[in-house]
Amino acid sequence: MSRQFRALAVAAVSPLAWAGPAAADAVPAGPFSCDYRFFAWSGGFVADLTVANHGPAVTGWTASWTFRSATGNLTAWQAKMAQPDPFTVTATNESYNAVIGTGRSVRFGWTASAASTEVPSDITVNGVPC
């Protein structure tokens, strides 16, 4: 199981924040690694998730995670996203990006409203911690 995240601090004078993944110097322990990035402002954020496949090719993927703060008004691209409650999110592939070959990745994103946001600590891909 590998978590690769990095945070980039933004000057204190800015009301905006950017956080992103860690340097990719760690070797992933599982079949997937995730690169979660977001740009926040007062009341909302835009984010994307890149899923890299280090194992055999997969056809069909589902990424899931939990937000710590209530989140709403999700608008996604490059994935179908479902939000059964204000904290839980599931993203599934579109027909054109269902296959993630060995050594390949897929990237999707969304905008949302939230009082605050951060990198989720429980991201899974096809049920495997990322």
**pLDDT tens, residue by residue, 43-91:** 999 999 999 999 999 999 999 999 999 999 999 999 999 999 999 999 9
Lowest mean pLDDT among 8-12, 46-50, 96-100, 114-118: 8-12
Q: Tell me, what's the pLDDT at 30?
A: 81
**Closest-CA residue to 80 (of 57, 106, 62):** 62
Q: Give pLDDT, residue 29.
A: 66
- Which of 106, 114, 59 minimizes the C-alpha distance to 89? 114
Q: What average pLDDT does the chain have?
A: 84
Query: Domain boundaries in the chain?
Result: 6-129
What phi, psi does 9 have (nearest 5°)?
A: -75, 145
CATH architecture of structural domain 6-129: Sandwich (2.60)
Q: Is residue 14 over pLDDT 80?
A: no
SS3 label, residue 97:
helix
> Is pTM beyond 0.85 here?
no
The proportion of the chain whose per-residue pLDDT surpasses 90, expressed as a percent, equals 77
